[in-house]
Structure 1
Amino acid sequence: MNARASQAFVASDLEGTLTTGETWRGMLRVLRERGQGGKVRGFLARKLPAVLLARARVLDVQRVRQSWVAELPRLLRGVTRDDIREIAEDVVERDLWPNRREDVLDELRRHREEGRVVVLASGTYQPVLEAFAARVDALALGTPLDFDARGHLTGGVVGLVRVGESKAHDLLRFLHGAELYAAYGDTAPDEYMLRLARHAIAVHPDRELARLAEKRGWRVLGTIQGDRK
């Protein structure tokens, strides 16, 4: 039996679950501060029509989000691994950590004290997720950025953005037979991850996840939010 299978794990989403901050806002802020405002404006102009159509429910919200996450790294093409780590730490320090949800983090602390391993499973870029995970003594399973042989960002991501079914699939492979004792998520696509856990917790859920939680008898932590775009 592999060593991992003997451990119990707890999985948590990041944005909306552990923090109300948003990675994309932080990364665009960093670019503006580095004199890349033109790139930022161009990116937002290209993406805004799809966002508006998603809000009108003409386009699928989750597909628009995945496209946004997959394409934003193009603005950082050519940046080195070290620079990406600095950007990630800046985003966590100024955008994500100040907006952390202490109620959920307290539960993760108790899980660690009881001997469970905490893993953050999120569509957030891997360097950003690692920077946040380091603050809460957790492992990180995010969306990897693609680097060339010289260690420069190509502008893309590796594989699929880890949300919904993709996140649950990769988490299951990561667990490699180990028990998922508990899972925390905030939006309907997190259902796939929550269904893997013995204990599923909907954190300040959107309306769709709140309905699923009521139907399946999952615990709700915090207040029910409006539909998120």
Structure 2
Amino acid sequence: MPNRNLALFDLDNTLLPFDSDHAWGEFCVHLGWTDGPKHRQTNDRFYADYKAGTLDLDAYLRFSLAPLVGRPPEVLANAHRDFMHQVVLPQIRPSALELVRKHQQAGDLCCIVTATNDFVTQPIAEAFGVPHLIAVQTERDALGRYTGGWHGVPSFREGKIIRTTQWLAAQKLDWSHFDQTWFYSDSINDQPLLEHVTHPVVVHPDPRLAELARERGWPALELFP
């Protein structure tokens, strides 16, 4: 019998107290894989655009995926392992883990739905113990090397609804199978999916989302006091 409830979680600045995509860009500077000052400046500009709700996603993806291109898979795996140990794992908070566990223990179907790419986020989802991840799908060649491209609908804004619907369909499910659906997010970019679920919850929201939540009477949650 399928789960009767569905719990969806944004990742960056929701389950994590920082943005993993931006942090990975900084880590690429640390690794010496990029032109440090220029890359950092561009990374910061794109992040500001994201927070303002004005991000050119295609331009950002071309920028953020470029450091992966041409690097052997084992080099990338080792770099991401260091990223996890040095940056991600020390910042995962018990409160965020507890939120996920609460839904899992209730028997809810749980999934992380993020606009960050799957290279960055797959190990993070595993660290949260969530087996289902919807992320931007990076493209790889026959040798398993990243091309700098992506495929499918990016899980961004309305794309999060499209990708979640596709993911459910692959499991022979749809939204109507669930009595209750939750989505937790911090960002105004996630307004479409927040409006799509029965239980939208804002998590230390950005100013525009905080205002929308007040207007709609959506509950607010602070995981990182």
Report the CA distance between 1:29 and its aligned residue. Answer: 4.1
Q: Does 1:23 align with 2:20?
A: yes
* Structure 2 unaligned residues grouped into runs of 5+: none
**Does the residue aligned with 1:15 lie in a helix, a strand or coil?**
helix
Root-mean-square deviation (CA), in Å?
2.9
**Does the residue aligned with 2:55 lie in a helix, a strand or coil?**
helix
In structure 1, the residue matched to 2:210 is 210
In structure 1, the residue matched to 2:196 is 196
Q: Deviations over 1:17-51 (max 9, x none)?
A: 0112232443334433443343x444345667777
In structure 2, the residue matched to 1:143 is 136
C-alpha separation between the residues in 2 aligned to 1:81 and 1:199? 40
In structure 2, the residue matched to 1:226 is none
Go from structure 1 to structure 2 and tell me whether the alpha carbon gap of 1:27 and 1:46 turns closer, same or farther (over 3 Å shift).
closer
Q: Does 1:10 align with 2:7?
A: yes
The within-5 A match list for 1:121-136 is 121-136=113-128
In structure 2, the residue matched to 1:162 is 155
C-alpha separation between the residues in 2 aligned to 1:152 and 1:103? 36
172-181 vs 126-135, which moves further: 172-181
Go from structure 1 to structure 2 and tell me whether the alpha carbon gap of 1:161 and 1:118 turns closer, same or farther (over 3 Å shift).
same
C-alpha separation between the residues in 1 aligned to 2:40 and 2:99? 37
Q: Is the 8 A contact 1:78 1:152 kept in 2?
A: yes
Q: Does 1:43 align with 2:39?
A: yes
In structure 2, the residue matched to 1:74 is 66
For 2:39, give the aligned amino acid: F
Count of residue pairs the alignment pairs up: 215
**Does the residue aligned with 1:130 lie in a helix, a strand or coil?**
helix
Go from structure 1 to structure 2 and tell me whether the alpha carbon gap of 1:108 and 1:69 turns closer, same or farther (over 3 Å shift).
same
**Does the residue aligned with 2:183 lie in a helix, a strand or coil?**
strand
**Does the residue aligned with 2:161 lie in a helix, a strand or coil?**
helix
Go from structure 1 to structure 2 and tell me whether the alpha carbon gap of 1:209 and 1:7 turns closer, same or farther (over 3 Å shift).
same
In structure 2, the residue matched to 1:227 is none
Go from structure 1 to structure 2 and tell me whether the alpha carbon gap of 1:51 and 1:23 turns closer, same or farther (over 3 Å shift).
closer
In structure 2, the residue matched to 1:219 is 219
C-alpha separation between the residues in 2 aligned to 1:91 and 1:160? 27
Q: Deviations over 1:78-134 (max 9, x none)?
A: 123443333333333322332234333312111111111211100111122211111
